[in-house]
Structure 1
Amino acid sequence: MRKQLFAVAAVIAAGCAAAAEVPQEVVSGAAEREATAITVYNDDLALVKERRRVVLPAGLVRLGLREVSAQMRPETALLRAASGHPITLVEQNFDFDLLTPAKLLEKYVGREVIVLRSHPTTGEERREKATVLAANGGTVLRFADRIETGVPGRIVFDSVPANLRDRPTLSVLLEAAGGAQSLELSYLTGGLSWKADYVANLSTDGAHMDLSGWVTLTNRSGAAYDGATLQLVAGTVNRVRQPQQQVAYAMSAPSPVAKRADVAQESLMDYHLYSFERPTSIADNQTKQLALLSAVAIPVRREYLLAGSEYYYRERYGQIGQKLKPVVYVEFANKGGQLGKPLPGGVVRVYARDSKGAAQFVGEDRVEHTAKNEKVRLKLGEAFDITAERRQVSYKKLGDTTAESAFRIDLRNAKEEAVTVRVQEPLPGDWEIVQESLKGTRESARIVAWDVTVPASGAAVLEYTARVRW
């Protein structure tokens, strides 16, 4: 019986000794990266995948993976052996509490430090021990015979606490067989985002345009990525919203525009994936532009639209508007030639050439994700040389819920060429056009439209009567 008790005690002692043993730490930095791949989504989200070559001792080891994103979502981190023996994960910690003088002082609350002061005349340095009592909102130090606030000299620390890192670090406790092997780490992170920007140059006659597309990639993740394989996902991915650690960074100046790269596009479930064949590097706090597409001589259609409102069909109004300005739109089809592939949403900036051939900015508009063979419609602004006047010339109540209104729209064109203005009128309830000077088109259950040709330096009139029941 006695021998059995001694045996049990020995086992317990051995277990306690093993538990108390601090595992060796192996640190891996950016230099150990063999490959990096980044997939960036529209909504400040990215998937980072990297492979690192490390040498691990056999047994329990703590692996410190430095140079990871400061905005990593640690619950998404996955580490596995890409080559060599499998590894067994025990626990992992994401250390984003970075080393600063203030943080170092906070970690030493309740611990002893050395305070160095120099004599004001002799310069002789004096060393004195003190205990840090507080470091939040001010420093409180307890010396052998007094307590002082503030820092009376230089403070010397004997070491840096293990949980205070100079770089964001994923600390993983694992069991390894030992030896050199490649490990693959993947995780989701914030701080990486992209958007599409387009530049459209209209031809002199306004019938064609050249279109260039750029990807603007922004990195505020707290890590740099060198020689990374880059993919972009266009589309809205559903995410479960959770509070995240927010890290503020100052934005640096944009980097030079990268050279045009070959971009492959494919469907990814209900999204679209754009893959860049040439690896790219992006530093922390950097914005970079990458060429996405280039197309020339795209046929475009220009439209002048004068849109009304349904409120003035229910009452007597008389004069409704003077010197109204039609809105200028340009429209093109995303098909054929160098287009005909999904266009990620972004801002299109449009330029036109003046009489001297210089490109001038004429407007911009935001487009949503556009599938192939769909039309892209850009609102540029209001026409300067085309004006309109809208008047209600008569109004009759035909019952409690029925009225008949007659309207006259005068259009004037100061340009040296004829234009066509599309007059679009929304009508409420159940309606019908009982009289019109030009044949209109019923575009939907609520909208009727007329295409009115206005001669150069001339005028045109549209008259119509609408009966409305609500």
Structure 2
Amino acid sequence: MKVAVGMLLAVLALSPALAQPVVTSAAPLATSVTVYRDPNRGEGRIDPRWPNGYALVSEKRRITLPAGESTIRFEGVADGMLAVSAVVTGLPGGVSEKNRDARLLSPASLLDGWLGNRVHLRRTNRQTGKVSESDAIIRSGPNNAVVLQTAEGVEALRCSGLPETIVYDGVPEGLSAKPTFTVNTASPGATTVDVTLTYLATGFDWGASYVARVAEDGKTLDLFAWLTLANGNSAGFDGAQLLAVAGAPNRTSDFGTLVAQPPSPVLNLQCWPMDSTSTHDAWGLPVPPPPAPPMPMMYEMAVAAAPQAMRMAKGNIAADSIARQEELGDLKLYRVPMPVDISSNGQKQVALLQKAKVPFTLFYRATLSPFQSDTASRPIGIALRMQNKDKDGLGIPLPSGGLVVMQERADDELLLADAQMRDRAVGEKVEIDAGSNDQLRIQQETLSTDDDGTLRRVRVTLTSALDRPAPVEILIDRTDGYDLVASGRTLTPKDGGRLWALTLPANGKAVLDYSLRRQD
């Protein structure tokens, strides 16, 4: 009798009814998302379609736990979650095991989960419109033609010539409609607790999107910037606390390897290559290949948002709606003061900074390569120079990003340039491109080259059709292995090259002759 009771208890212990309970947390109460820029992107605008930065996500969730062991499912985490980085705090029994569930619900995974099981095959007669339903057993998975066994025999799905579909009685265990992270815990008693789930996730990026509005007098400008955030994950975060980190933290982990997921199954519907099948191509034409998977679509705003930024800058937006800068070691942290809805596969812009009436100096510049001969003249670029100091109207860190330069003309705003802003610290000189001037032109030509290549003589000619003097700076790139000697001109070192700075007279002309001599 004791043996029988022991066997009964063993059977009951293995019974599904007594399996470890599952607690599902469908959504967080509050979320904080701290976004780090793509370290390999360099300077300029982000790529909203393929964000390659990352984020630190922290979610507060309320969970009701039963006494004893249970499995907690955190639904709606980011697709790019790095499960190895996940930390759950606040559980009275701690965490004994954690798993990142990569099996998302899809037509192929649903079919694969019902392999060998009974489903319902629903067909519609094309002529009568009558719907019939019969039982079938799935005999092959989604990788090949889907083969079904019915009362009439064995056949492939969608090869009968009738519109047909499979109806399932439920969803197989382990499939989730949302990215899910699970942990196992053992609670000393039934309780409701607030826990925090924190993890790193890929598929984010951010950058600054600047709009510089040049005043009509051409002496000052208003500088406004968006904080542009891209989220490439299918998970969105409503009402999140958004933070952005500028700079390059030391990162040695290979995020791409850590976040790699097993490939999802693809549903492939094919008929047998027989002339009797109703879907056979009677004309002998090849069946086109399936379309490539679409790129994740993002809502793009960059230059289109410039007019709105102009209106905001003119209206001097409230200071409490602009991101607040904080120190984070050697990095800069920008905290958005209001909750932000971060859409899935979307892009968000919030006010980053605003400075009014910043004085600047306009000058003209060009960069030359000594070994590039150009017999045709070309326009010289326009540049605006500012000092990033508080006494000069700036005095704030300027993260890298895209830059749109606009010019006031009466009631109109005219586009001057679409340029880039490099990372600039407080106290640095800031130079931005503002288009080009066709009335100032530059020409470089090679006068002579020795047969052995030891000496090369070059002439640079500047011409002006302006009715005023023009400050011009010409930077000649460094050429390793050669010495550059100017004839009758003073060149100063700059950025590894040599700078020719001058004031070109109104309707005037200037010539620079220099030689390149190969070093011994």
Report the TM-score range of the alignment, normalised by the length of the smaller protein.
0.7 to 0.9
1:335 equivalent to 2:389? Answer: yes
- Which residue number in structure 1 is paired with residue 173 of structure 2? 162
Contact 2:58-2:196 within 8 A present in 1 as well: yes
Contact 1:228-1:279 within 8 A present in 2 as well: yes
- Which residue number in structure 1 is paired with residue 399 of structure 2? 344
Is the alpha carbon distance of 1:352 and 1:10 closer, same or farther for their aligned partners in structure 2, counting shifts above 3 Å? Answer: same
Whole-angstrom CA distance in 1 between matches of 2:323 and 2:362? 30
| The 10-residue stretch of structure 1 (224-233 or 364-373) with the greater mean CA deviation from structure 2 | 364-373
Letter in 2 for 1:413: S
| The 10-residue stretch of structure 1 (247-256 or 59-68) with the greater mean CA deviation from structure 2 | 247-256
The structure showing larger relative contact order (alpha-carbon pairs under 8 Å, at least 6 residues apart) is 2
Is the alpha carbon distance of 1:50 and 1:306 closer, same or farther for their aligned partners in structure 2, counting shifts above 3 Å? Answer: closer
- Which residue number in structure 1 is paired with residue 149 of structure 2? 142
Whole-angstrom CA distance in 2 between matches of 1:459 and 1:373? 35
Contact 2:459-2:514 within 8 A present in 1 as well: no
Whole-angstrom CA distance in 2 between matches of 1:120 and 1:463? 83
Superposition deviation, residue 188 in structure 1: 1.1
Whole-angstrom CA distance in 2 between matches of 1:299 and 1:264? 24
Letter in 2 for 1:450: W
Contact 1:71-1:222 within 8 A present in 2 as well: no
1:417 equivalent to 2:468? Answer: yes
Report the number of matched residues: 447
1:26 counterpart (20, 23, 27): 23
1:272-291 superposed matches below 5 A:
272-291=332-351
1:77 equivalent to 2:86? Answer: yes
Whole-angstrom CA distance in 2 between matches of 1:404 and 1:158? 82
Whole-angstrom CA distance in 2 between matches of 1:431 and 1:89? 67
Is the alpha carbon distance of 1:10 and 1:417 closer, same or farther for their aligned partners in structure 2, counting shifts above 3 Å? Answer: farther
Whole-angstrom CA distance in 1 between matches of 2:107 and 2:476? 67
Superposition deviation, residue 284 in structure 1: 1.5
Superposition deviation, residue 50 in structure 1: 0.8
Whole-angstrom CA distance in 1 between matches of 2:152 and 2:456? 97
Superposition deviation, residue 211 in structure 1: 0.4
Is the alpha carbon distance of 1:28 and 1:131 closer, same or farther for their aligned partners in structure 2, counting shifts above 3 Å? Answer: same
TM, length-normalised to structure 2: 0.76
Whole-angstrom CA distance in 1 between matches of 2:223 and 2:22? 54
Letter in 1 for 2:79: A
Letter in 2 for 1:417: R
Letter in 2 for 1:328: I
Superposition deviation, residue 150 in structure 1: 1.0
1:249 equivalent to 2:255? Answer: no
Whole-angstrom CA distance in 2 between matches of 1:63 and 1:380? 56
Whole-angstrom CA distance in 1 between matches of 2:62 and 2:192? 7
3-state SS of 1:366 partner? strand
TM, length-normalised to structure 1: 0.83
Superposition deviation, residue 426 in structure 1: 4.7
Superposition deviation, residue 103 in structure 1: 2.5
Unaligned runs of 5+ in 1: 313-318
3-state SS of 1:167 partner? coil
- Which residue number in structure 2 is paired with residue 454 of structure 1? 504
2:253 counterpart (228, 240, 243): 240
Is the alpha carbon distance of 1:130 and 1:463 closer, same or farther for their aligned partners in structure 2, counting shifts above 3 Å? Answer: closer
Between structures 1 and 2, the one with greater strand share: 1
Whole-angstrom CA distance in 1 between matches of 2:516 and 2:120? 92
Letter in 2 for 1:419: A
3-state SS of 2:95 partner? strand
Superposition deviation, residue 104 in structure 1: 1.4
- Which residue number in structure 2 is paired with residue 183 of structure 1? 195
1:443 equivalent to 2:503? Answer: no
Superposition deviation, residue 394 in structure 1: 7.2
3-state SS of 2:438 partner? coil
1:38 counterpart (29, 33, 42): 33
Is the alpha carbon distance of 1:434 and 1:41 closer, same or farther for their aligned partners in structure 2, counting shifts above 3 Å? Answer: closer
Whole-angstrom CA distance in 2 between matches of 1:87 and 1:34? 21
Identity across the alignment (%): 28
Contact 1:87-1:174 within 8 A present in 2 as well: yes
3-state SS of 2:108 partner? helix
Letter in 2 for 1:166: A
Whole-angstrom CA distance in 2 between matches of 1:448 and 1:418? 23
Letter in 2 for 1:233: V
Contact 1:26-1:64 within 8 A present in 2 as well: yes
Whole-angstrom CA distance in 1 between matches of 2:148 and 2:369? 73
Superposition deviation, residue 357 in structure 1: 4.9
Contact 1:434-1:467 within 8 A present in 2 as well: no
Unaligned runs of 5+ in 2: 39-52, 265-294, 310-316
Contact 1:310-1:426 within 8 A present in 2 as well: yes
Is the alpha carbon distance of 1:409 and 1:434 closer, same or farther for their aligned partners in structure 2, counting shifts above 3 Å? Answer: closer
RMSD of the TM alignment (CA)?
3.5
Whole-angstrom CA distance in 1 between matches of 2:477 and 2:133? 85
| The 10-residue stretch of structure 1 (113-122 or 219-228) with the greater mean CA deviation from structure 2 | 113-122
- Which residue number in structure 2 is paired with residue 307 of structure 1? 367
- Which residue number in structure 1 is paired with residue 207 of structure 2? 195
- Which residue number in structure 2 is paired with residue 316 of structure 1? none
1:52 counterpart (61, 64, 72): 61
* Structure whose alpha-carbon radius of gyration is higher: 1
Whole-angstrom CA distance in 1 between matches of 2:495 and 2:37? 36
3-state SS of 1:75 partner? helix
Letter in 2 for 1:344: P
| The 10-residue stretch of structure 1 (232-241 or 248-257) with the greater mean CA deviation from structure 2 | 248-257
Contact 1:111-1:132 within 8 A present in 2 as well: yes
Is the alpha carbon distance of 1:384 and 1:64 closer, same or farther for their aligned partners in structure 2, counting shifts above 3 Å? Answer: same
Superposition deviation, residue 327 in structure 1: 2.5
Show CA shifts across 1:53-83 (max 9, x none). 11111011121211221221222221121xx
Contact 1:40-1:192 within 8 A present in 2 as well: yes
Whole-angstrom CA distance in 2 between matches of 1:332 and 1:56? 59
Contact 2:446-2:456 within 8 A present in 1 as well: no
Is the alpha carbon distance of 1:89 and 1:396 closer, same or farther for their aligned partners in structure 2, counting shifts above 3 Å? Answer: closer
1:115 equivalent to 2:121? Answer: yes
Is the alpha carbon distance of 1:286 and 1:157 closer, same or farther for their aligned partners in structure 2, counting shifts above 3 Å? Answer: same
Letter in 2 for 1:455: P
- Which residue number in structure 2 is paired with residue 174 of structure 1? 185
